[in-house]
Structure 1
């Protein structure tokens, strides 16, 4: 009953906004930018942009195309945190030809006046840049163009069952894709037609190819001792249903003392990065383990600033695996709950092992043995398999995705 009431209110608001504000003309030189919802939990901003494709593109746009013949004279930015608002106000004073205007998102401040202010700006813009292909816009005029810079390169877990109903009323006109194969896999759940996926690259990969910080700077920012030689990343994905809470620092493992000793002997630290939806979980078992760190969001750097300097990625069913392939470094898969996860959520590939370019561990013992072997140079990485998978999912690693996205948008404005 409550869910039906919320749905009816949402549809009523949508109808009212389209009727009342629908008369506003769309301006080709007005751009509306909507960052990914992760900004509500992490300190992503215009200056700390590498973790969000949309903010990454905005940073690129302001840095490279604030010129007299700029295609966009006014850019509205949907604000999801105070840091972004502050950045926006500071940059307003520095920009010469582009007017950058902060618009507080209804997700951050829910009141009727804010909704009106937000959609008054939104409905004036011809081009809308959005971050999630699985989240159609609530309100959109037929003349507006919704271009999605998706927050993941390619799905690892299945999105068909979870998002099937929500995406049936799809508003995305174009989706920037990392490869043709990635497009084909994503369209199964998105309901975006195949020919509306444009293989332009994945803009966050530009920072992996050309990092904005060097390794000593990142280590200093994170408070990592300069004697540490190896950074290992562990990135478990989100769990649904009964698996929704991640309390173990490493899923399926209990003996962290053994792991900590292994890391210490090899001058390595393990950085545990929970899924953004699980950042509030209290991870247990690592007290006293000096070589196991829990990632904490920062306003100075993002996880994607650390990624280029990791010697090894440990993951499970996370799409960050495809991003890490750009580094050319080895990957170990922690499939300790594979059967349960596949039963609860499902995977995009069957058999998934064909696409796992690295050692698959099913037990704690197998995982620790794989880590030790990788640190000692006994890698499981098969270069041919690795490169085959990489080329299947990632077309561009030239650091020029920003240019391609910009050129594509300019072309659509000119049509």
Structure 2
């Protein structure tokens, strides 16, 4: 049952949305992924890891849609003066407006955002947001640019399940189109949402244009190498996903890598081999559950406005991961992958996967103990050769396009 406050708010939103057909639609709205904008500090200056921000940058850098006001949603942590200064310097004369939406914003800020929605011809988001009744209006097109290339984890739960995420509440009243990377991806995403097949378009993820480009983040690589006091030969990016079963824990219960091991000895071996592990934690990970005492050769990435996950991927030599869809992005780089399945049986029973057996699409060494992990890290070059054909096979399952044209395809389709 709705509270009086919720009822009043929804009624006022319904009334405000009625202005949509009667105003000039001179805005394009871009809404990045809320968690990543807040936790990873993604914005128009740090855009390469977010689909909506990549599309906005494409329009600005190609001097397109000059008659439109590009309206970009930002988090409560973003400095508007800094962002406005960046636009004035980099894109002088362009009409760009930043609006607070992501995070715990004030009532006046939220209603300002809603009012701007009524003035948009298109709204591009990096995940699906519940923006009814505004999204129901026929004079505006709502496009979800997609969060992942293809789901790796299970996202389908009964409403009585504690992990129920409510994705099935979204339907064609919330969006007009959902952008995917392949027909297989469409069919894996469809069951979690009540959006008919005709609303899915196979055009690719905007952000992956950067991964496939010739641009190399040499500055990021240098920063990482200089973070330790030994010559770095290989940077291994570690991207563990969050554990639903660790939510609510207040004390550390496991090591970062998942194994009870002699971390000093392990760290020394990494140093001897010139390996640096850079861990990019999932924004939803309960950090309290992880022991944080680490050797210098294992570092946890601290969010910065200068770069994000995509730059870390390109700057690295290999990926160490578990059950995250970021693995699919990394396949575009054709670099070796190690799968750290330290809790795979527990994860299967608490969350599960889109494929069974999940090992059938893991194009890399699978390890389940500390000894296996250490061995796999010492054989990265062999891993690259051994699983090359399988990486290519899985990549072609996930992606219809392996080019730098996804953003252009999306732009041409809608604008």
State the partner residue of 2:375. Answer: 369
What is the deviation of 1:120?
Answer: 0.8
Whether 1:168 aligns to 2:173 is: no
How has the CA–CA distance of structure 1 residues 243 and 163 changed in structure 2, closer, same or farther, with 3 Å as cutoff?
closer
How has the CA–CA distance of structure 1 residues 407 and 156 changed in structure 2, closer, same or farther, with 3 Å as cutoff?
same
What is the deviation of 1:326?
Answer: 0.4
What stretches of structure 1 move > 6 A for 4+ residues in a row? none
What is the deviation of 1:338?
Answer: 0.9
How has the CA–CA distance of structure 1 residues 31 and 315 changed in structure 2, closer, same or farther, with 3 Å as cutoff?
same
State the partner residue of 2:213. Answer: 210
Partner residue of 1:121 out of 110, 116, 119:
116
How has the CA–CA distance of structure 1 residues 389 and 378 changed in structure 2, closer, same or farther, with 3 Å as cutoff?
closer
Give the SS at the match of 2:232: coil
TM-score for both structures, normalised by structure 2: 0.88
- After superposition, residues 16-415 of structure 1 pair within 5 angstroms as 16-24=12-20, 25=22, 27-37=24-34, 38-66=36-64, 70=65, 73-83=68-78, 85-94=80-89, 95=91, 98-105=94-101, 107-111=103-107, 113-133=108-128, 135-140=129-134, 141-143=136-138, 144-161=140-157, 162=163, 165-170=166-171, 171-210=174-213, 212-215=215-218, 217-222=219-224, 223-224=226-227, 227-242=231-246, 248-278=255-285, 280-281=287-288, 283-284=290-291, 286-287=293-294, 289-374=295-380, 377=382, 379=384, 381-410=386-415
How has the CA–CA distance of structure 1 residues 408 and 136 changed in structure 2, closer, same or farther, with 3 Å as cutoff?
same
**Residues 75 and 103, structure 2, Cα contact 8 Å, conserved in 1:** yes
Measure, in 1, the Cα distance between the counterparts of 2:286 and 2:46. 18
Measure, in 1, the Cα distance between the counterparts of 2:256 and 2:82. 34
**Residues 131 and 148, structure 1, Cα contact 8 Å, conserved in 2:** yes
**Residues 218 and 306, structure 1, Cα contact 8 Å, conserved in 2:** yes
Measure, in 2, the Cα distance between the counterparts of 1:257 and 1:72. 59
What is the deviation of 1:310?
Answer: 1.8
What is the deviation of 1:373?
Answer: 2.0
304-313 or 13-22, which moves further after superposition? 13-22
Q: Which runs of 5+ in 2 are unaligned?
A: 158-162
What is the deviation of 1:199?
Answer: 1.3
Measure, in 1, the Cα distance between the counterparts of 2:111 and 2:76. 19
What is the deviation of 1:191?
Answer: 2.3
Deviations 1:36-79 (A, max 9, x none): 1111112211111112111111111111134xxx2651122212
What is the deviation of 1:270?
Answer: 0.5
How has the CA–CA distance of structure 1 residues 186 and 292 changed in structure 2, closer, same or farther, with 3 Å as cutoff?
same
Measure, in 2, the Cα distance between the counterparts of 1:397 and 1:351. 26
What is the deviation of 1:279?
Answer: 7.1
Give the SS at the match of 2:379: helix
Measure, in 2, the Cα distance between the counterparts of 1:244 and 1:74. 42
Deviations 1:338-371 (A, max 9, x none): 1111111111111111111111112222222222
What is the deviation of 1:158?
Answer: 0.6
Measure, in 2, the Cα distance between the counterparts of 1:178 and 1:186. 11
Q: Which runs of 5+ in 1 are unaligned?
A: 411-415
Give the SS at the match of 1:406: helix
301-310 or 73-82, which moves further after superposition? 73-82
**Residues 221 and 316, structure 2, Cα contact 8 Å, conserved in 1:** no
State the partner residue of 1:413. Answer: none
What is the deviation of 1:30?
Answer: 1.7
How has the CA–CA distance of structure 1 residues 398 and 331 changed in structure 2, closer, same or farther, with 3 Å as cutoff?
same
Give the SS at the match of 1:127: strand
CA RMSD in angstroms, aligned pairs only: 2.5
Deviations 1:300-357 (A, max 9, x none): 1112112113221111110000000001011111111111111111111111111111
